[in-house]
Structure 1
Amino acid sequence: MSRTLVIGDIHGGFRALQQVLERAEVTPDDLLIFLGDYVDGWSESSQIIKFLIELSEKQKCIFIKGNHDVWCEDWLAFEQGPGIWLANGGKSTVDSYTDYSSEELDLHLEFFQRMKHYYVDDQNRLFIHAGYSSMHGPEKEVYSSNYRWDRTLWETAVAMDKKLEKNSLLYPKRLLLYKEIFIGHTPTLYIGSRVPTNKGNIWNMDTGAAFTGALSIMDIDTNEFWQSDPLPSLYPHEKGRNG
């Protein structure tokens, strides 16, 4: 039976990605939805992109673009990146591309350019890296950068009174637009959770793989999830984005 599996922020942790795909027993029949931030942090960013390109040739995958992916895309296109990017994991990404040919770099650039801003499935479930601020949904967003940077959607869900009913006048209109929303970008570690976390109708899949957490993959129909080992244990001689 085919499944729809959603994967949180990877941040250069190729070993973690291999673990979760194995632990979830992923098959070519499964649809894989990646929520972005494939690069920056641990040392194997370019290897992840190479693997994902090859994986997408074997089974259906949907790749959402994260803020770190935009930085990497710009670097691949213009051969320069902002200091803030280099200081937030970008240097490890640049280092991982040391031995790549110009043809391989172009192939990876095209992969980033094809990524989606967001995706809505046939059950009205939204998949987006960060969020959106428009009460009319991401398609009405004035600033497309919100797809990759917005934290207010998640902050709203976290701050909501659990007793608030959906028919209440005070229930956030942004959350009523979709059956469920799947995001990354803001680590669940910030609220003391190391597993995929549900608030309102939002599932946050960023379980801190860039830092001290694990990478997570979840079956969106059953909410069963699998996790890698914590990333520091997979890369014991590295700091990820902790350093």
Structure 2
Amino acid sequence: MATFAIGDIHGCWTALETLLEQVPIQEDDLVITLGDYVDRGPESARVLDWVMNQSANERFIALRGNHELMMLAASKAQMNPEHWLACGGSETLTSYQQTSQRRIPNIKDISPQHLDFIKYDLRPYHETETHIFVHAYVYEDAALDDQDESALYWERFDLIRPHKSGKKVICGHTAQRSGLPANRQHAVCIDTWVYGDGWLTCLEVESGQYWQANQKRKHRSDWLEV
């Protein structure tokens, strides 16, 4: 039984579909997605449909990212929608317009089922005997239940320190524009900028092997650098 983590998808369905064709995931393997399913890429609605469907499987764990929080807050008028639109929300609205009768994208087009899924079903983190999975970051001296939202969803990977549990942290959020995962030994960031000119990454955490695909349907595989 292996554990696979998939980094920030950001509405890039073509890259996700290509990636899943390459990764040798078996029925009893654990798959963890690290959040940021929406914004910036062209098919956020389709990506969220996939995440929702996969979440019916107990061997699939879906975490929440900061872009899901922004999308939810904008839809509930808890933040200025223009801020979300400027952070990639405009592409997300366009992806929902495909199933709407409106000629102009509207925040009311967002699926209520998707909003409920983001609010109630996505998780802030997941922990195994050896690893911590989180969207963005964990403060080194705080238990997971005591982490605040600024760490879990917003802090950058740059200054991450070893967690007091001794477990390795697997996260996304901080785009690695090199297209390669960042390996600090005690923490690995697998947001590899798929919505830009980078790749979508899936990491097998036990072995350190990873697979990547991009929006041009190219794919490749390598191992974490030590």
Tell me the TM-score normalized by structure 2: 0.83
Percent of counterpart pairs with the same letter? 29
Aligned-residue RMSD, C-alpha: 2.4
Query: Structure 2: where are the runs of 5+ without partners?
Result: 102-107, 218-226
Cα distance in 2 for partners of 1:228, 1:100 equals 30
Contact 1:219–1:225 (CA under 8 A) maintained in structure 2: yes
Cα distance in 1 for partners of 2:163, 2:111 equals 39
The aligned residue for residue 155 of structure 1 is 158
Letter in 1 for 2:85: L
Give the one of 125, 135, 145 matched to 1:139.
145
Report how many aligned residue pairs link the two structures: 209
Cα distance in 1 for partners of 2:95, 2:110 equals 13
Cα distance in 2 for partners of 1:184, 1:89 equals 17
Cα distance in 2 for partners of 1:133, 1:218 equals 23
Cα deviation, 1:142-167, whole Å, max 9, x if unaligned, reads: x323210011xx2225xxxxxxxxxx
Aligned: 1:128 with 2:113: no
Query: Structure 1: where are the runs of 5+ without partners?
Result: 158-171, 235-243
Tell me the TM-score normalized by structure 1: 0.77
Contact 1:216–1:225 (CA under 8 A) maintained in structure 2: yes
Which structure's residues are more often strand, by fraction?
A: 2
Give 1:12-161 correspondences, 5 Å limit: 12-58=11-57, 60-78=59-77, 82-98=81-97, 99=99, 105-113=111-119, 114-121=121-128, 123-133=129-139, 135-141=141-147, 143-151=148-156, 154-157=157-160
The aligned residue for residue 182 of structure 1 is 170
| 3-state SS of paired residue (2:149) | coil
Higher Cα radius of gyration: 1
Cα distance in 2 for partners of 1:100, 1:26 equals 35
Cα distance in 1 for partners of 2:53, 2:100 equals 16
Cα distance in 2 for partners of 1:49, 1:81 equals 23
The aligned residue for residue 195 of structure 1 is 180
Cα distance in 2 for partners of 1:135, 1:7 equals 26
The aligned residue for residue 211 of structure 2 is 226
Contact 1:39–1:68 (CA under 8 A) maintained in structure 2: yes
Cα deviation, 1:37-69, whole Å, max 9, x if unaligned, reads: 000011100000111111223462111111101
| 3-state SS of paired residue (1:53) | helix
The aligned residue for residue 207 of structure 1 is 192
Contact 1:126–1:178 (CA under 8 A) maintained in structure 2: no
The answer to which of 21-30 and 79-88 deviates more is: 79-88
Cα distance in 2 for partners of 1:100, 1:138 equals 40
| 3-state SS of paired residue (1:188) | coil
Cα distance in 2 for partners of 1:62, 1:108 equals 16
